[in-house]
Amino acid sequence: MADIVFQPTFVHKEFVDGPDGDRVRADEPNGFNARFGAIESDLRQLSTVVGQIDTALDRRGTGPAGHVLTLAPLLLWAEGDPLAWRITASGAATASGDDVFYGLMEVALPDNALLTSFRAMGQVDNNGEGLGISLSRVKIPGGTPEVLASVGGDTGPFDRSTDVDPTMAVTQTATYRYIIQAAFRSGGGTTVTLAAFQIAYTSS
């Protein structure tokens, strides 16, 4: 976009009092008509510039806005499934012991938003295998979860991000529920801690 510039043209020339000073005149270069005409021209130009600024601001507000939704991993246990993740006082989710752990949580997303990426952060003590975290949608009133994005973690701190499947990236909250699932098969005293999930999206 070109620069928006206001360049005034009116320059005030002082009147002089006294016998040899200026006389009040309507015409001539220093007359009132010329002076007020220059001021009027500047005001018209200023009005045009204000309109250009307003249009530029409106255009900036019509594009899609980027958002990042950060979620504490408040994973719920489903009856009949493997062991539940334990939620700590800080809101993190942990799993440890020689067993299989599973949890899920609902995610409230705006309708008609474009999901762009899914991110999971946490810590794996010792050598952890079989950790899977996914963002999915489930058709209402019920159905098999469709995975939109999934990440895993291994030894030490992890911070994994992946793109959302573009074929299912636009949210349809009247048709689908959105959930995050986390599963881990522990062995050898491994402990996994999930710190946070993030979902990046754009909306109008």
Three-state SS string over the chain comes to CCCCCCCCCCCCCCCCCCCCCCCCCCCCCCCHHHHHHHHHHHHHHHHHHHHHHHHHHHHHHHCCEEEEEEECCCCECCCCCCECCEECCCCCEEEECCCEEEEEEEECCCCCCEEEEEEEEEEEECCCCCCEEEEEEEECCCCCCEEEEEEECCCEEEEEEEECCHHHCECCCCCEEEEEEEEEECCCCCEEEEEEEEEEEEEC
- How would residue 7 be classed by pLDDT, with cut points 50, 70 and 90? low
pLDDT digits (tens, 9 = 90+) for 100-114: 888 999 999 999 999
Task: Tell me what the mean pLDDT of segment 124-138 comes to.
Answer: 83
Identify the pLDDT of residue 137: 97
**Distance of CA 137 to CAs 83, 149, 180, 183, Å?**
23, 10, 9, 17
More confident residue, 80 or 144: 144
Most confident range (mean pLDDT) of 57-61, 144-148, 187-191 is: 144-148
Higher pLDDT, 66 or 126: 66
Q: Which among 84, 117, 106 has a CA at the least distance from the CA of 180?
A: 106
pLDDT attached to residue 53:
76
Give the residue with greater pLDDT, 80 vs 95: 95
Q: Is 112 left (phi over 0), alpha (psi -120 to 50) or beta?
A: left
Report if pTM > 0.75.
no
pLDDT at position 145: 93
Query: Binning pLDDT at 50, 70 and 90, where does residue 117 land?
Result: very high
Report yes or no: 129 and 120 within 8 Å, Cβ to Cβ: no
Does the pLDDT at position 128 exceed 60? no
Q: Which class does domain 65-203 fall in?
A: mainly beta
In angstroms, rounded to a whole number, what is the distance separating the alpha carbons of residues 120 and 140?
A: 26
115 pLDDT tier (thresholds 50, 70, 90):
very high
Nearest Cα to Cα of residue 154 among 189, 126, 115, 196: 126
Q: Does position 3 have pLDDT exceeding 90, yes or no?
A: no
- Identify the band that residue 79 occupies on the pLDDT scale cut at 50, 70 and 90: low
